[in-house]
Amino acid sequence: MLAQRRLVLAPPPAPPAVAVYRGDVQATFDLELGYPAASAPTNAVPSPAGVITTSAFPAGPAAVTSHVGSYEGLGAAWATLVAAAEGTPTGISIEAYVSDPRTTPEEQLRTDLVLPVR
């Protein structure tokens, strides 16, 4: 007699939330918040909070690192990345929040930092 197993598939993990800072983060800057998508909608999407628009990450070289730990350590991680970057920063900084802060201990939170350069 063959044993039967029931296979339960979990949904794929959601892509990490991202924050895109455009401008000098020590002064005035624009902030975009969102999630990466396989393809962008061709039109703006209405929502109860307002209209959702799409944007694209800049193409080209970038300095990249991962910070593991509290969000309070992001400033120091950015300073280290900027100091080590080869090239001139373009004025765009990207944070990808890989870990879910609701389920991940603070000391294990992972944030990927991306600094486009020219």
Is 74 within the bounds of a domain?
yes
Domain count of the chain? 1
Q: Is the pLDDT of residue 2 over 60?
A: no
**Contact of 115 with 93, CB cutoff 8 Å:** yes
Is 67 within the bounds of a domain?
yes
Is 65 within the bounds of a domain?
yes
- For the chain, what percent of residues have pLDDT higher than 70? 89
Is 25 within the bounds of a domain?
no
- pLDDT tens string 30-59: 999 988 877 777 888 888 888 888 888 888
Is 60 within the bounds of a domain?
yes
Is 3 within the bounds of a domain?
no
Is 15 within the bounds of a domain?
no
Alpha helices, DSSP H, located in the chain: 74-84
80: containing domain = 50-88+112-118
**Contact of 90 with 69, CB cutoff 8 Å:** no
Average pLDDT, the chain: 88
Q: Is the pLDDT of residue 63 over 60?
A: yes
Is 32 within the bounds of a domain?
no
- Residue holding tokens 């296979």? 7
